């Protein structure tokens, strides 16, 4: 393991906006903030998640843009999530935090109806059939999201994968979920929603030369 990673892991321990619960505590329902996130943020504002947040740029930018909402970026990669946590501290953002845990355990982190919205930005499409259970928008994951979301909440997907875009539409329609928006090229389509989806991650700026697509569906 590189020295830079070790340095970041050590620094992560000092961040009060980065939580790293043990898997065994989550599995055994011992996470003390479940159902009590308003105590952490010290307000009752809506809570928005970014799942698979990577370096946390989207979470950080959303928190900057919407000060009357709370944002939580979730990822299992500690060396990546370090940047979002550090930048948020540097900017003194109080409406954002980061959580290092596996996404399949988020119903152990949040109570029923505790979350108002979910964002997924450039998740791994897991194209191979044998990897389908890892797609963050398969039926099993959506059922988990439904547990923690309030009624009529929105789930957003921003991706450069046409495969994942189409797969998500098929899953949502198959589960009877309402498709709110579906755009295949958000930066050239006049009718594409703007504002929040115009935030660009490091990945999008540097590596993606494909058209960026967007899907938004409602979980009732």
Half-sphere exposure (Cβ direction) of 19: Cα atoms closer than 13 Å: 21
CA torsion angle 78 84 90 96 (round to 10): -110
53 phi and psi, to 5 degrees? -75, -10
Sign of CA dihedral 113, 119, 123, 127: positive
Half-sphere exposure (Cβ direction) of 81: Cα atoms closer than 13 Å: 27
CA 89 to chain centre: 19
The reply to whether 124 belongs to the active site is yes
For residue 52, which of 101, 4, 17 has the smallest C-alpha distance?
101
In the set 29, 124, 160, 195, the catalytic residue is: 124
Alpha-carbon gap, residue 122 to 205, rounded angstroms: 12
CA-based max dimension of the chain: 48
CA 81 to chain centre: 12
- Token pair listed for 54: 């990577």
DSSP 85-122: HHHHHHTT-SSEEEEES-GGGGGGTS-TT-EEEEEEES
Enumerate the active-site residues: 124
């Amino acid at each position: 393991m590189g020295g830079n990673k070790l340095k970041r892991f050590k620094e992560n321990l000092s961040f009060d906006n980065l939580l790293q619960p043990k898997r065994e505590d989550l599995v055994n329902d011992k996470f003390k903030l479940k159902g009590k996130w308003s105590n952490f943020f010290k307000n009752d504002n809506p809570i928005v998640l970014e799942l698979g947040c990577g370096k946390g740029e989207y979470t950080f930018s959303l928190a900057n843009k919407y000060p009357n909402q709370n944002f939580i970026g979730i990822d299992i990669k500690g060396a990546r999530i370090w940047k979002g946590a550090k930048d948020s501290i540097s900017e003194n953002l109080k409406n954002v935090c980061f959580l290092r845990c596996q996404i399949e355990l988020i119903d152990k982190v949040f109570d029923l109806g505790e979350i108002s919205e979910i964002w997924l930005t450039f998740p791994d499409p897991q194209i191979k059939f044998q990897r389908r259970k890892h797609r963050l928008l398969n039926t099993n994951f959506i059922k988990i999201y439904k547990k923690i979301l309030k009624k009529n909440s929105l789930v957003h997907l921003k991706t450069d994968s046409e495969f994942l875009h189409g797969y998500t539409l098929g899953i949502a329609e198959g589960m009877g979920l309402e498709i709110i928006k579906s755009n295949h090229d958000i930066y050239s389509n006049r009718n594409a929603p703007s504002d929040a989806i115009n935030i660009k991650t490091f990945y999008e700026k540097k590596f993606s030369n494909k058209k960026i697509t967007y899907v938004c569906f409602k979980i009732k």
